[in-house]
Each structure stands twice: as structure tokens, then as C-alpha cells.
């Protein structure tokens, strides 16, 4: 009996579902013979429910390739129980939660005769979290994410593009996974590049047909920065369409909290400074805010300081806004305008207070 347990552990660590399944079955039979029929039944029940899922999970490991470039046309990401922080407005957060619940309760809804169609189109500015949301949904539902690489799909041979599209949908069909078409507009963009309009129409039609038959019983997410490039016919295929916009002040504060987590900060407890920062960061994407905070954190560590300071973030924000066009006068003015005391400005720049005042007077 101990041998079976050992083999199950080995199988689990090697993600070998078949090994786990066959040794669990042996174990259940032995336990049953030894007289513990209750435990034996419990093991049988646990593996019976899992077989269909685990076997098709294994199938997810052999991914299709483009016949010409030999590049993989999909990547599979298995959820790892990671905590993915996504900060969204209340309304959008609620819509994403609704979608997750529809996916989680899909089989119950179907059993009750309720038709569900789980297809979600995310559109909006770059760096606002479309790809992150797809990963978050995968974590929340426990379903692997099959990410279609549209750069690899749009093959130089039109025939291959249509074939690649079909391969992707066939690959994800009837498997416990979410098909994620990222940078979805790549197909539409090809309009200017390689194909005649008529040829491209055929590719788009094949895409539409695939979406139609796929979305009925599978889960589909698509994301694009360029909604204007998508055909109207494509929009209609998705039963949930969400615009992911730039964060507002409330969300910016939450993003600052998330990105500074684990660092000692004083400005996060200073309402006035926090308010100022959130106003200065309006119009920035979460990805921009992450870059600014990460740069500020890096400078803090490099300079051997313990605390991430308000002026560190302001300095990085200023550099972010004026890439390639930095002057010390302007930076001094920016810090001064945003409430950093002149003595602190002098100290961090290694100049005298008199010089700080000189710079400021020059600006007048």
C-alpha cells in the first residue's frame, strides 16, 4: 500500500495525471479488500470525477505550430494559485466577477437548461490590465489559459493563416481551458500589410465561423488596443464586452498601495501627499504607475535608503514625463511646487539651499 502512495506522490510532483490516476485506483482496490469500503469509495469518487479533466489537461501539453515558421501558435499557462492583484473600478470589477461566476457555474446552468455563452471582449488603452485580467480569470476559475499568439498566426501565406486559426480553435475545443486571443487586432491590421481585401475577408469569415461554433460550449476571451479595427460582425460575437479605461483617483491610490507593498513609505499615510500624487498620476496607465514606482524603489535601494519617499516618486514621475528633456531647474521647480521642502530638495540633489533658491528665482 505504501508503494502506491509513493507512486501517487511521484506522479503528482511530475504532474503525471495518468500515474496518479492508475496508482490511486490500485490503492482504492487494496483498501477495499482490506475492509475499508468507505475510504475505497471515496478514492474512487475522487478520481472518477477527475479523469476526463486530467486526461485532456495532458493533451494541452502538445501545442500546435505554424507549418512555415515552426513557431508555436499558442502558449499554455497553467494557473499556479498566484495572487494576481488587479485594480479596477467597482463597475468593471463587478462585470468581471459576473463573468467568472458564469464560467464557474457553467455546467449547473447548462443542466438547468439555461443557455450560457462565455465570451468576453476586453478593449482599451495599453497597459490598463487586459492581459492581466485574462490571467486573473484563469487563476480564479482554475482553468489553464491557452494564449493564441496572433503575431505567429498571421502567416505570410494566407492559406496558413486560415489553417492556423482553425488549429487554435480545434486545439482548445472541448478541453478544460480558456482560449485567450490576445492582441486580437493583429488579424485586422494585416489588411494593410500583406493581403488583398477579398482574401482577408475570407480569413475574417473563417475567424467568425470558428468563434461561433467555439463560444457555444467553451470559454473565450479576446483583447485589443484597437477596437476601431475590429469588424462590427466580430463585436456581435461576444456576449460580454468591457472597456478597460485609465484608472481614476480612487484606483490610483489602490494601485500605489499595491505597488509599494512591502516597502516602508511615509506618503501612503499622509492624506495630503497621497491626494497630490493621485492627481499627478491621472491619465497614467497602471503599467506606467508600476514603472514609476519600481524605478523609485530601485533608486531607494541603490542609495541605501530605508524608506520610499514622496520625493522619490515625484522625481521618477518627472523623469517619466520628460524623458530625454530633463533640466535640473525644472525638476527643482516641480518638487517645490508639489510641497517638497527646499532643504529636502537641496539634500537629495546634493546642492545648497541657496542654489535651490537660485534655480527657483530663475523660473520666476
Query: Are the beta carbons of 141 and 86 closer than 8 angstroms?
Result: no
Query: Which of ligand ATP, Mg ion, none does 225 bind, CB closer than 5 to 8 A by kind?
Result: ligand ATP
- At its nearest, how many Å lie between ligand ATP and the CB of residue 234? 17
Spatial contact of 78 and 178, defined as CB atoms under 8 Å apart? no
Tell me: does residue 285 bind Mg ion (CB under 5 A): no
- Cβ-proximal residue to ligand ATP, closest one: 129
CA distance 73 to 162: 12
Q: Which does 88 bind (CB under 5 to 8 A by kind): ligand ATP, Mg ion, none?
A: ligand ATP
132 binds ligand ATP (CB under 6 A): yes
- Report if residue 188 touches ligand ATP, rule: CB under 6 A: no
119 forms part of the interface with ligand ATP (CB under 6 A): no
The answer to whether 297 contacts ligand ATP (rule: CB under 6 A) is no
Q: Which entry of Mg ion, ligand ATP, none binds 86, CB below 5 to 8 A by partner kind? A: ligand ATP
Whether the CB-CB separation of 338 and 314 falls below 8 Å is answered with yes
Q: Are 123 and 30 in contact (CB under 8 A)?
A: no
Phi and psi at residue 243, to the nearest 5°:
-90, 130
Instruction: List the interface residues with Mg ion, window 98-137 (CB under 5 A).
Output: 130-131
Closest approach of Cβ 221 to Mg ion, in Å?
A: 11
Judged by CB, which is closer to Mg ion: 47, or 186?
A: 186
Cα separation, 291 vs 298, whole angstroms: 10
Distance of alpha carbon 235 from alpha carbon 230, whole angstroms: 7
Nearer to Mg ion by Cβ, of 183 and 311: the residue is 183
In the window 225-244, what residues touch ligand ATP (CB under 6 A)?
A: 225
Segment near ligand ATP (CB under 6 A), from 1-9, 284-292, 300-308, 322-330?
A: 284-292
Instruction: Please answer whether residues 204 and 231 qualify as being in contact, where contact means their C-beta atoms are separated by less than 8 angstroms.
Output: yes
End-to-end CA distance of the chain: 85
What's the CA angle centered on 203, arms 202 and 209, to 5 degrees?
Answer: 90
Q: Which residue has the cell 533640466?
A: 327
Which positions ≥6 away from 206 have C-beta within 8 Å? 162, 165, 166
Based on CB atoms, which residue is closest to Mg ion, 134 or 280?
Answer: 134
Q: Which is nearer to ligand ATP, 162 or 186 (CB)?
A: 186
Tell whether residue 127 is a contact of ligand ATP (CB under 6 A).
yes
Q: Which stretch binds ligand ATP (CB under 6 A): 128-136, 170-178, 213-221, 336-344?
A: 128-136
Closest distance to ligand ATP from the beta carbon of 288 (Å): 8
Q: Residue 134, Cβ neighbours under 10 Å: how many?
A: 21
CA dist., res. 326 & res. 87, Å (int): 31
Q: Which residues contact 212 (CB under 8 A, 6 or more apart)?
A: 237
Q: Is residue 148 within the footprint of ligand ATP (CB under 6 A)?
A: no
Phi and psi of 112, rounded to 5°? -85, 5
Q: Which does 194 bind (CB under 5 to 8 A by kind): Mg ion, ligand ATP, none?
A: none
238: cell is 461576444
Q: In sequence order, which residues have a C-beta less than 8 Å from that of residue 85 and are 6 or more positions away?
A: 258
Based on CB atoms, which residue is closest to Mg ion, 151 or 329?
151
Residues 84-103 that bind ligand ATP (CB under 6 A): 85-88
Q: Does residue number 129 form part of the binding site for ligand ATP (CB under 6 A)?
A: yes
Name which of 19 and 257 has its Cβ closer to ligand ATP: 257
Q: Which residues bind ligand ATP (CB under 6 A)?
A: 85-88, 126-132, 225, 286-287, 290
Amino acid at each position: 500500500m505504501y508503494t502506491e502512495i509513493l507512486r501517487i506522490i511521484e506522479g503528482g510532483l511530475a504532474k503525471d495525471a495518468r500515474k496518479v490516476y492508475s496508482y490511486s485506483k490500485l490503492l482504492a482496490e487494496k483498501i477495499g479488500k482490506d475492509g475499508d469500503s468507505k475510504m475505497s469509495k471515496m478514492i474512487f469518487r475522487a478520481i472518477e470525477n477527475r479523469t476526463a479533466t486530467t486526461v485532456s489537461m495532458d493533451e494541452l501539453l502538445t501545442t500546435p505550430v505554424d507549418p512555415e515558421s515552426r513557431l508555436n501558435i499558442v502558449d499554455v499557462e497553467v494557473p499556479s494559485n498566484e495572487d494576481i492583484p488587479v485594480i479596477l473600478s467597482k463597475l468593471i470589477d463587478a462585470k468581471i466577477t459576473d463573468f467568472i461566476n458564469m464560467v464557474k457555474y457553467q455546467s449547473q446552468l447548462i443542466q438547468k437548461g439555461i443557455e450560457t455563452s462565455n465570451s468576453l471582449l476586453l478593449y482599451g488603452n495599453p497597459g490598463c490590465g487586459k492581459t492581466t485580467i485574462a490571467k486573473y480569470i484563469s487563476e480564479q476559475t482554475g482553468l489553464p489559459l491557452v494564449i493564441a499568439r496572433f503575431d505567429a498566426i498571421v502567416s505570410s501565406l494566407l492559406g496558413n493563416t486560415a489553417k492556423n486559426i482553425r488549429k487554435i480553435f480545434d486545439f482548445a475545443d472541448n478541453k478544460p481551458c480558456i482560449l485567450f486571443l490576445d492582441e486580437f487586432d493583429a488579424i485586422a491590421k494585416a489588411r494593410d500589410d500583406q493581403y488583398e481585401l477579398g482574401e482577408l475577408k475570407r480569413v475574417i469569415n473563417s475567424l467568425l465561423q470558428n468563434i461561433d461554433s467555439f463560444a457555444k460550449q467553451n470559454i473565450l476571451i479576446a483583447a485589443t488596443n484597437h477596437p476601431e479595427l475590429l469588424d462590427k460582425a466580430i463585436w456581435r460575437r461576444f456576449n460580454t464586452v468591457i472597456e478597460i479605461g485609465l484608472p481614476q483617483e480612487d484606483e490610483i491610490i489602490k494601485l500605489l498601495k499595491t505597488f509599494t507593498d512591502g516597502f516602508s513609505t511615509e506618503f501612503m499615510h499622509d492624506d495630503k501627499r497621497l491626494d497630490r500624487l493621485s492627481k499627478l498620476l491621472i491619465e497614467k496607465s497602471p503599467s506606467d504607475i508600476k514603472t514609476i514606482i519600481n524605478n523609485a524603489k530601485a533608486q531607494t535601494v541603490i542609495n541605501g535608503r530605508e524608506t520610499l519617499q514622496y520625493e522619490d516618486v515625484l522625481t521618477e514621475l518627472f523623469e517619466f514625463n520628460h524623458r530625454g528633456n530633463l533640466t535640473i531647474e525644472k525638476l527643482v521647480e516641480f518638487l517645490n511646487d508639489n510641497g517638497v521642502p527646499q532643504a529636502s530638495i537641496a539634500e537629495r540633489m546634493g546642492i545648497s539651499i541657496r542654489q535651490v533658491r537660485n534655480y527657483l528665482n530663475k523660473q520666476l
